[in-house]
Amino acid sequence: MDLVPLPSQTVGPFFHLGCTETQSVSRLAGPNARGERVRLTVRVLDGDGCLVNDAMIEVWQANAEGKYHHPDDPQDKAIDPDFRGFGRLATDDKGTCVFETIKPGRVPGNAGGLQAPHLNVSIFGRGILQRLPTRIYFAAEAANSEDPILPLVPEERRHTLMAHSDLHHTGHWHFDVHLSGKDETVFFDV
């Protein structure tokens, strides 16, 4: 008897149902949060370069001082009361979502050094049976050369983790998530 593999059951699309007005979080930093303001547009594309209009993006980041708004962060740094540090949005019909936040500070690495400013990201979508974790770094950030995680990624693939600034709008950044294909975003096994 030959065993024939069957395709996995498709998950979703249901993310827009769960991302109601009260459950969607586009603003990680309120108007009085300390730090450099960032408007981050995330776009999700499939392997054919088509926009994915039913994905969900979650982001988690440190505040401008490099402290997470979470009880497991033991650093003796102040929590910014106007900074949430977490966001969740579904992509729109153009495959995008926009977060309002601040540029994160540097957080400690496992070996005692500091990590470059980054956002931790999880991508969920139809046919994705487990979340796809990745990071968003800021292109041309001087601290990227000192980050302990980036050297683990082959140099020719690091560009897939970089957000790029909009030359026409100060504080606006763009990041593309490629789910597969030649420019597939680096996803981490965590």
Q: In the predicted model, is pLDDT for residue 1 greater than 70?
A: no
Residue 118 within a domain: yes
pTM of the model: 0.89
pLDDT digits (tens, 9 = 90+) for 4-61: 655 544 555 555 555 656 557 899 999 999 999 999 999 999 999 999 998 999 999 9
Residue 8 within a domain: no
Residue 1 within a domain: no
Q: How confident is the model at residue 127 (pLDDT cuts 50, 70, 90)?
A: confident
> What CATH number corresponds to the domain at position 144?
2.60.130.10
Torsion of CA 62, 66, 68, 72, to 10 degrees: 140
Residue 170: predicted pLDDT: 93
The parent domain of residue 89 ranges over 15-178
When divided into structural domains, the chain yields a total of: 1
Residue 58 within a domain: yes
Residue 190 within a domain: no
Distance (Å, rounded) from C-alpha 175 to C-alpha 190? 21
Distance (Å, rounded) from C-alpha 190 to C-alpha 187? 9
